[in-house]
């Protein structure tokens, strides 16, 4: 069923991707909202890219749909930022939680699963709750950018998400880190203070480290492990 839906959408997605390739991210957000209404939502980790997108979505609609995956292991600064979004923009981001609490996960799979099997931990705490959320949507918005990883270099503004069976919209795909921060300064967008403390990419506490100046911005995610993505976005080796 998901596969058939994806095949039916293929022509439209390719056309939208071509038409929107040169569009401004703000215009892409407005297009997403006018095209999909309340069937499109931003998946936010409250990273700096997502904060820009929240700001842009609010300019497109007073009631944007924004959700986040609360693994139970986010930084206190991230939870505080979720509250700051509500205060600044006047809507409460939707919190999606895993089926198992951390205590139940430890009972079933052992304590600190992220150290022994981070893929299983990410699957239960991020990918499965995301899949549940996406079942009720026609499209989702993400903050991925082409210059973040070799795999993301091939991302398009509008794509078919074959894994979850819906449309994926990446308004910032052409932007650089510099453009993201320029937008933050220009519009006084709130952001996670950890970004100023050596954390360019912020996930769960046990799997996120600060990086040194000049390091790959995602080097602090699952440091010392052969893992670069949680399974939400395609990853691994760059496509041929
Ligand atoms: S990032 Fe780490 S702690 Fe968070 S869900 Fe994945 S493995 Fe678990």
Pocket test for ligand 1, best of 122, 127, 233 (most atoms within 8 A of CB): 122
Read off the pLDDT band of 158 (50, 70, 90).
Answer: very high
Asked if 137 and 41 count as a contact pair (C-beta separation under 8 A), the reply is yes
- Ligand 1 touching residue 43 (CB < 6 A): no
Per the structure, the count of domains in the chain is 1
- The CATH number covering residue 141 comes to 3.40.50.620
Q: Atom 6 of ligand 1 has which residue's CA nearest to it? A: 122
Query: Does residue 228 form part of some domain?
Result: no
Query: Does residue 113 form part of some domain?
Result: no
Question: pLDDT, tens digit, for every residue of 113-140?
Answer: 999 999 999 999 999 999 999 999 999 9
Query: Does residue 180 form part of some domain?
Result: yes
Residues written for the chain: 240
Q: Atom 8 of ligand 1 has which residue's CA nearest to it? A: 121
Q: Tell me which residue range forms the domain holding 71.
A: 2-99+127-193
- Ligand 1 touching residue 222 (CB < 6 A): no
Position 238 scores a pLDDT of 35
Query: Does residue 142 form part of some domain?
Result: yes
Asked if 32 and 139 count as a contact pair (C-beta separation under 8 A), the reply is yes
**% pLDDT > 70, the chain:** 90
Is 230 annotated as catalytic?
yes
Average pLDDT of span 155-163: 95
Partnered with residue 141 across adjacent β-strands are 42, 169
Q: Is 171 exposed, middle or buried, given 0-12, 13-18 or 19+ CB atoms closer than 10 A?
A: buried
* Nearest partner of 187 among 14, 48, 10, 17, judged by Cα: 48
pTM for the model: 0.91
- Dihedral, CA atoms, 228, 232, 55, 96, nearest 10 degrees? -120
Query: Does residue 17 form part of some domain?
Result: yes
**Residue 131 φ/ψ region, left for φ over 0, alpha for ψ in the -120 to 50 degree band, beta for the rest:** alpha
- Ligand 1 touching residue 202 (CB < 6 A): no
Rounded to an integer, what distance in angstroms lies between the CA atom of residue 207 and that of residue 157? 29
Query: Does residue 240 form part of some domain?
Result: no
Distances (CA, A) of 65 to 128, 162, 180, 188, 233: 19, 22, 21, 21, 20
Query: Does residue 208 form part of some domain?
Result: no
Distances (CA, A) of 160 to 6, 53, 122, 141, 230: 7, 20, 22, 12, 19
Question: pLDDT, tens digit, for every residue of 71-121?
Answer: 999 999 999 999 999 999 999 999 999 999 999 999 999 999 999 999 999
Query: Does residue 229 form part of some domain?
Result: no
Pocket test for ligand 1, best of 106, 112, 125, 130 (most atoms within 8 A of CB): 125
Partnered with residue 67 across adjacent β-strands are 43, 94
- Ligand 1 touching residue 127 (CB < 6 A): no
């Amino acid at each position: 069923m998901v596969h058939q839906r994806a095949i039916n959408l293929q022509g439209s997605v390719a056309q939208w991707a071509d038409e929107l390739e040169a569009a401004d991210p703000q215009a892409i957000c407005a297009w997403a909202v006018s095209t999909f209404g309340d069937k499109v939502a931003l998946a936010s980790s409250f990273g700096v890219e997502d904060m820009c997108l929240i700001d842009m979505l609010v300019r497109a609609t007073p009631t944007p749909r924004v959700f986040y995956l609360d693994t139970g292991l986010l930084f206190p600064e991230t939870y505080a930022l979720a509250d700051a979004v509500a205060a600044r923009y006047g809507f409460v981001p939707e919190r999606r939680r895993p089926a198992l609490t951390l205590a139940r996960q430890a009972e079933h799979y052992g304590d600190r699963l992220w150290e022994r099997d981070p893929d299983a931990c990410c699957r239960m705490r991020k990918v499965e709750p995301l899949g549940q959320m996406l079942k009720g949507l026609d499209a989702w918005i993400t903050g991925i950018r082409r210059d973040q990883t070799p795999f993301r270099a091939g991302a398009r503004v509008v794509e078919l998400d074959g894994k979850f069976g819906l449309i994926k919209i990446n308004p910032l795909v052409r932007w650089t880190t510099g453009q993201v921060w320029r937008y933050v300064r220009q519009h006084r967008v709130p952001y996670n203070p950890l970004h100023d403390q050596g954390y360019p990419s912020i996930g769960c506490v046990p799997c996120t480290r600060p990086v040194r100046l000049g390091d790959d911005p995602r080097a602090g995610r699952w440091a010392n492990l052969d893992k670069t993505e949680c399974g939400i976005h395609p990853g691994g080796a760059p496509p041929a």
